[in-house]
Structure 1
Amino acid sequence: MTDDTLDDFFDAMQELGQPVLTAEEFARARECTQEKADRRLTEFAEAGLVGRRDVERDPVIWYPKEWDQQAGRERVVTFPNRRELVVSHPEQFTRARLSTFAYLVDSNGSGDSIYRIREEDVWGAPYDDLADLLLALRRVTGERLEDLEEWITSQWKRARQFVLRTHEDGYTVLEADSESLMGNVARQALGEEQLHAPISDTESWVREGSEGEIKRILYDEGYPVRDARDLDTGDHLEIDLALELRDYQREWVDRFVERKAGVLVGPPGSGKTVAGIGAMATVGGETLILVPSRELAAQWRESLLESTSLSASQIGEYHGGRKEIRPVTIATYQTAGMDRHRRLFDERRWGLIVYDECHHIPAPIFRQSADLQSKHRLGLSATPVRESDDEVEIFTLIGPPIGTDWSALFEAGYVMEPDVEIRYVPWASEAAESEYASALGHERRQVAAANPAKLDEIRRLLDSHEGEQVLLFVDWLEQGEEYAEALDIPFLSGETRYAERERLLSEFRHGTRDTLLVSRVGDEGIDLPAATVAIVASGLGGSRRQGAQRVGRTMRPVGGAQVYMLATRGTEEEEFVRGQLRHLQNKGVNVLEREAETA
């Protein structure tokens, strides 16, 4: 380890047969301790002989320095034993393919990303057969990775070892691929609340109404359950469409009808509601639509009356003061999940249940409504991610993802990919920075969010986008009230009266008002108009769903859009903002990072 040349480094690369090294691999190849390897690699780097890539997580990657001349080119480095891929400067095609079978763990401003292939990514991969999934992996890595492909194959088979089906006598049966799986897994994990009795060594009689719970329990045991029940199609309901589906929406509907269950994961602005209405018309059965708020219930009712042949008397709403059950019924999750109301929904034979904004399903207050089952179950969400990492329940309870390839919609021009930029804002003063340093917990995040320098940066951005439709988002009411006064623009929050809210939204929608300041109330549940520019001054710490929702307010079929995410430099906001954009990056949206202008 005393030679001043790079012989050791290149010898290790040749021995391991790979173009980059971690310190652990270098130590193993040169038969030295990792401490000595770290020290030697650091010496090489300080001498300008090797470079390093750090994606803010282990491992640090070391590579020949001449690679920096190709720094802007895409490179994929695989770590099969950890089921991880480190991708430098991924192209949109690569990001889109990775989004179908891998999870974006981390990324940094240098263009490097870590992807991990987890069990649930293979279980829910949107491919009709294993060969298509393996082909997608090979197109990204450029090679066959036998150990990794063997593991993926095992997980693919694992997700197909339990099935719920309908017995010829009408009750539900849980069937396992083997006697061992039924005896050592299912009957050990499930009790009398879920199973009546054995039918055979591989079959058990399911207690009525426990199907959703069985899916959750076996999923937690590591065994997804396929749902092949012959569920009731409900009474026939003729629905004619007063609109034409786009090609990709028709493809979504066809895939859904073929599978009978699934979650549309299309980008904001792609028309998931329209596709949902198309599914209703194709299924042709009485439909229950579950939504998180009364406002969304009203929007669904309006869309159905405008886009279909349904009359007002055929559409009912069940929430708050309205308790109407009709051939098409729109209910809130909270109401549908209550025992005294759920019985009424259970008694009706639904041909289709639509779970709008279905990312809410894993939350305790919404979960019971997922026990409502029908032959066709359709979830809608642009952001099926949750900070509690329990989003897998969405696909377990409803169905597999559909429409995950956002890049195809971007490239075809159906939805314009927004330009997303993180702006790092310096502290306005030493006093403000000192206040942050002395603050703790929640207060610390609020101090960073309210950095006075952000207001100066917002003024510059508004000047540069004068005359364009701009939505400005904040997470704190005090910050919103301060900005509203300083910028002389209206502030729409949860405290804004309904009539005033509708007036402001109408003015913005029709172009008579070009700037609107919005609190967290604009993230979901109201029909916030699309904008050409979005500026996010503060947000929930690292919430991927909130980040995607706010960026999604600029996604439209025509015209470009610009999104600015502001973060105070040197604070935890930097990581929060990167975290918020992780779901969009995983879907192929490019994110740039730059410093804010200074006065």
Structure 2
Amino acid sequence: MPRTPRLTFDRGTLILHPPPRGKVWVDYATWDDRIEKFRIPGINYRQLVEALQAEGTNFIDEAKEFSSLVLNPSFEMEPYPHQSEALLTWKQAGRKGVVVLPTAAGKTYLAQLAMQATPRTTLIVVPTLDLMHQWYAQLEAAFPDIEVGLLGGGSHDRTPILIATYDSAAINAEALGNLYGLLIFDECHHLPTDFYKVIAEYAIAPYRLGLTATPERSDGRHQELNALIGLEVYRKTPEQLAGFALAQHKVVQIKVKLSQTERDRYNICLKVRNDFLRESKIYLGSMEGWRQFVIASARSPAGRRAMLAHREAKEIALCTDGKLRVLVELLTQHYPESILIFTNDNATVYRISQELLIPAITHQTHVKERHDILTRFRQGEYKTLAASHVLNEGVDVPDARVAIILSGTGSSREYVQRLGRVLRRGTQENKLAILYEVISEDTSEERTSQRRHGLTGKNQSHRYIEPKKVDKPKPKHRQLEILPSPSIYEVNPTDTHKAAESSAKWDEKDQDCID
């Protein structure tokens, strides 16, 4: 009598042995001569199980070690319409996919709703330790009856709900792969790298949720999110949520003229750089051109002078004295409101801090000092705070109304994140957030500003998907919830309390989910 095939988990892969009689599993399997058995990538677990069950193949599943949870939230808030819509479209897409919402739009609470609607052991992956602790505080308060743990920053927990940094999750991907049924990737644009993507590839979790304000990457690897997490299922922009979930806002651009001395030096530096580029036949209109410039700058004294001239010209444009004069005027105009100041480099942050006696945070600021500064800023003891890039992601400053960008990159992601620092409605009624963008006139900084605004506009018009137009993706094989016979992967709808709406509003088949 033939033995029943067994599906087991082995360090990020699946082993199916002995081979089943059917053929559907062959598309996922690769023969491993070392063990003389078939291996299947862990990420294909759901498709494989669905295919075997659809074919009626009998097998023993020993791969999964994730389990059901009973999640009884200690508090429930009425979700915003966009949160309910996002949750519904994610469920309709098979509980896999990416949700794009601006900073301060409530992505963490949306994740909590998804956890309540899909009560399985859950791994949440975040990019920074600050975000890890914010998630921990939120979920500890939301689910006091379930143990919440941390992986990263010296913690090595193994709990039903685990919050990990991308670095720690990638290092432990082989061990974590079969322990969690739901993966939540916060700031999921970090995932598509050679190091981080193993978190998704080694995991057998059938449910995946990606959260980000700006999924697009300059290297184009955001396309990999479709395979690692799922398709983009929902998107809203800051403009679409203004006045509802987010504060109304306006962007004010202020152009500053270089002094004659700065202008003369700027032109000289550009001439040195451009002469070298022309002689070397290098064009800076692409990443490849910049790569060639960097290589050429290391091969000759002329190249070195050109690179130094390029950096000096950029420094003149970003750090002109005229910007500091505008900054002083804006600080005076908006005193005593809470104001955030963003720059592109630490040197400018320290200059502002020293000359204007403003607290500053950079990557060099110690953890305790940074916590103390942020606490005093939130409490109103500090009215102004200067930073370079460390406040771009994951810092909640709900009472800030004014942000001033003195310098930045051409990244639309950075621009959206900095705008998001002041979009939280907080306790202020009819809050109007203001983002000042101070740029040097007739310099390369104007093109930098155009790139970050142009990319944002392009993304909004091309990528946004209205909820009513989202169709359920057609999987290669039938989903388990529509299989004709009951399955061990089905969930009793009564196991979980529906977060966003009463159970009567959900389609019955949407309440089913696989382990």
The bucket for the TM-score relative to the shorter chain is 0.5 to 0.7
Q: Does 1:478 align with 2:478?
A: no
Q: Deviations over 1:502-526 (max 9, x none)?
A: 1221122122222111121111244
Retained in 1: the 8 A contact 2:43–2:205? no
What is the aligned partner in structure 2 of residue 466 from structure 1? 335
**What SS class does the counterpart of residue 235 from structure 2 fall into?**
coil
Q: Deviations over 1:372-419 (max 9, x none)?
A: 241110011111122223222223321122331336842662212421
Q: Does 1:206 align with 2:29?
A: yes
When residues 483 and 261 of structure 1 are mapped into structure 2, their CA distance, relative to the original with a 3 A threshold, is: same
**What SS class does the counterpart of residue 324 from structure 2 fall into?**
helix
When residues 517 and 170 of structure 1 are mapped into structure 2, their CA distance, relative to the original with a 3 A threshold, is: same
User: What is the rounded CA distance, in whole Å, between the counterparts of 2:454 and 2:355 in structure 1?
Assistant: 32
Q: Does 1:236 align with 2:68?
A: yes
Retained in 2: the 8 A contact 1:473–1:519? yes
Match of 1:570 among 427, 430, 442: 442
Q: Deviations over 1:183-234 (max 9, x none)?
A: xxxxxxxxxxxxx9997699724344536599xxxxxxxxxx9997789693
Retained in 1: the 8 A contact 2:28–2:41? no
What is the aligned partner in structure 2 of residue 254 from structure 1? 88
Structure 2 spans left out of the alignment, 5+ residues: 9-18, 31-38, 54-62, 270-308, 462-515
> More relative contact order in 1 or in 2 (CA 8 Å, sep 6+)?
2
**What SS class does the counterpart of residue 67 from structure 2 fall into?**
coil
User: What is the rounded CA distance, in whole Å, between the counterparts of 1:199 and 1:430 in structure 2?
Assistant: 79
What is the aligned partner in structure 2 of residue 355 from structure 1? 185
When residues 483 and 412 of structure 1 are mapped into structure 2, their CA distance, relative to the original with a 3 A threshold, is: closer
When residues 237 and 419 of structure 1 are mapped into structure 2, their CA distance, relative to the original with a 3 A threshold, is: same
User: What is the rounded CA distance, in whole Å, between the counterparts of 1:273 and 1:353 in structure 2?
Assistant: 14
User: What is the rounded CA distance, in whole Å, between the counterparts of 2:22 and 2:266 in structure 1?
Assistant: 65
Question: Structure 2 length as normaliser, TM-score?
Answer: 0.68
Retained in 1: the 8 A contact 2:25–2:48? no
Retained in 1: the 8 A contact 2:318–2:440? yes
Q: Does 1:546 align with 2:414?
A: yes
Deviation at 1:565, TM superposition (A): 1.4
The residue type paired with residue 463 of structure 1 is T
What is the aligned partner in structure 1 of residue 368 from structure 2? 499
When residues 279 and 519 of structure 1 are mapped into structure 2, their CA distance, relative to the original with a 3 A threshold, is: same
User: What is the rounded CA distance, in whole Å, between the counterparts of 1:227 and 1:387 in structure 2?
Assistant: 36
What is the aligned partner in structure 1 of residue 211 from structure 2? 380
What is the aligned partner in structure 2 of residue 323 from structure 1? 156
**What SS class does the counterpart of residue 318 from structure 1 fall into?**
strand
The residue type paired with residue 402 of structure 1 is V
Deviation at 1:499, TM superposition (A): 2.1
Q: Does 1:580 align with 2:448?
A: no
Identity percentage of aligned residues: 27
What is the aligned partner in structure 2 of residue 280 from structure 1? 115
The residue type paired with residue 256 of structure 1 is W
What is the aligned partner in structure 1 of residue 483 from structure 2? none
The residue type paired with residue 173 of structure 2 is R
Q: How does 1:77-226 map to 2 (within 5 A)?
A: 204-207=27-30, 208-210=39-41
User: What is the rounded CA distance, in whole Å, between the counterparts of 1:463 and 1:498 in structure 2?
Assistant: 30
User: What is the rounded CA distance, in whole Å, between the counterparts of 1:256 and 1:443 in structure 2?
Assistant: 48
What is the aligned partner in structure 2 of residue 453 from structure 1? 322
User: What is the rounded CA distance, in whole Å, between the counterparts of 1:565 and 1:256 in structure 2?
Assistant: 36
Match of 1:402 among 233, 240, 247: 233
Retained in 2: the 8 A contact 1:261–1:399? yes
What is the aligned partner in structure 2 of residue 369 from structure 1? 199
What is the aligned partner in structure 1 of residue 358 from structure 2? 489
Structure 1 spans left out of the alignment, 5+ residues: 1-167, 173-195, 215-224, 590-599
Q: Does 1:414 align with 2:245?
A: yes
Match of 2:143 among 308, 311, 335: 308
Deviation at 1:501, TM superposition (A): 1.4
When residues 272 and 287 of structure 1 are mapped into structure 2, their CA distance, relative to the original with a 3 A threshold, is: same
When residues 205 and 488 of structure 1 are mapped into structure 2, their CA distance, relative to the original with a 3 A threshold, is: closer
User: What is the rounded CA distance, in whole Å, between the counterparts of 2:352 and 2:134 in structure 1?
Assistant: 30
When residues 343 and 405 of structure 1 are mapped into structure 2, their CA distance, relative to the original with a 3 A threshold, is: closer
**What SS class does the counterpart of residue 177 from structure 2 fall into?**
helix
Give me the CA root mean square deviation.
Answer: 3.2
When residues 408 and 537 of structure 1 are mapped into structure 2, their CA distance, relative to the original with a 3 A threshold, is: closer
When residues 568 and 201 of structure 1 are mapped into structure 2, their CA distance, relative to the original with a 3 A threshold, is: same
Match of 2:377 among 483, 499, 508: 508
The residue type paired with residue 184 of structure 2 is V
The residue type paired with residue 499 of structure 1 is K
When residues 394 and 530 of structure 1 are mapped into structure 2, their CA distance, relative to the original with a 3 A threshold, is: farther
Q: Deviations over 1:56-99 (max 9, x none)?
A: xxxxxxxxxxxxxxxxxxxxxxxxxxxxxxxxxxxxxxxxxxxx
Deviation at 1:559, TM superposition (A): 0.8
Question: Structure 1 length as normaliser, TM-score?
Answer: 0.59
When residues 479 and 470 of structure 1 are mapped into structure 2, their CA distance, relative to the original with a 3 A threshold, is: same
User: What is the rounded CA distance, in whole Å, between the counterparts of 1:462 and 1:556 in structure 2?
Assistant: 21
What is the aligned partner in structure 1 of residue 295 from structure 2? none
The residue type paired with residue 238 of structure 1 is V
* Number of residue-to-residue matches in the alignment: 382
Retained in 1: the 8 A contact 2:42–2:177? no
When residues 358 and 228 of structure 1 are mapped into structure 2, their CA distance, relative to the original with a 3 A threshold, is: farther
What is the aligned partner in structure 2 of residue 120 from structure 1? none
What is the aligned partner in structure 1 of residue 391 from structure 2? 522
User: What is the rounded CA distance, in whole Å, between the counterparts of 1:480 and 1:463 in structure 2?
Assistant: 18
**What SS class does the counterpart of residue 472 from structure 1 fall into?**
strand
User: What is the rounded CA distance, in whole Å, between the counterparts of 2:211 and 2:355 in structure 1?
Assistant: 39
Retained in 2: the 8 A contact 1:255–1:402? yes
Retained in 2: the 8 A contact 1:406–1:587? no
**What SS class does the counterpart of residue 495 from structure 1 fall into?**
coil
